[in-house]
Amino acid sequence: MIVFSWFKYIYPRHLNLLYGGGEASARLKRPELKCAKLCGGFASAQFVFNRYRIRRLMLDIKNETILAIDPGFERLGIAILSRDPKKHIVIFSKCFNTDKKLSFEERLVLIGEDLELVIKTYKPTSLAIETLFLSNNQKTVMRVSEVRGVIIYICKKSNLNIFEYQPLRVKIAVTGYGKATKENVMAMVPKLVCFEKVPTSDDELDAVAIGLTHLASTRP
């Protein structure tokens, strides 16, 4: 009997390419593989089973609905995108504002409540969120990191797959150029997706750009 064990090296690698890393790739990273016999040099039932699982995952990608967020505590860009083979569709987008007169803790509660309502309404399967952009304003960085913590906690609690993207990767995905300006990104976003009405808020467009990055990174 020959032990057939190369699945656990090949398939996780393919899934990493397929999903661009992130939590979804972990679903098959450590599969419970059983030893299979080689019949005439080909894998037996285990081969068929793994192919079936990958096809199911690819089907999930095709039907994926994305919650994309540009994190902030004063303004939060939110977008819901749906994958489409011709042109991706923005189902919903908005800029959620919190009152400056409220305490930071109260603003966090409002952000959490609004996010839970969006998830309940649109039932996304994945969260795409931008990583923390470090600046000289340490107070702002700390506040935004706390907002990201609330967002990731709520999304994970709602069983969403979590994907994080660096600003550089967003620029490359949307414009093809890592040193693109914010204006370049804002100009390209409406050309890449279908909007019912193009938003005027930069935070909304940023959220859509993050969602586009995820869709481009997880193309079936």
Q: How far apart are CA 105 and CA 110, in angstroms?
A: 9
203 assigned to active site: yes
Q: Which of these is catalytic: 60, 105, 113, 130?
A: 130
206 assigned to active site: no
Q: Which of these is catalytic: 64, 70, 204, 206?
A: 70
Both tokens assigned to 138: 């340490």
Both tokens assigned to 10: 């090949």
Both tokens assigned to 90: 């923005």
Q: How far apart are CA 85 and CA 64, in angstroms?
A: 12
Q: Which of these is catalytic: 64, 164, 203, 206?
A: 203
- Laid out side by side, the sheet with 75-82 consists of 161-165, 126-130, 65-70, 75-82, 88-97, 193-194
SS3 letters across 13-55? HHHHHHHCCCCHHHHCCCCCCCCCCEECCEECHHHHHHHHHHH
Nearest one of 26, 43, 23 to 35, comparing CA atoms: 43
Q: What are phi and psi of 65, to 5 degrees?
A: -115, 130
164 assigned to active site: no
The residues annotated with a catalytic role in the active site are: 70, 130, 203
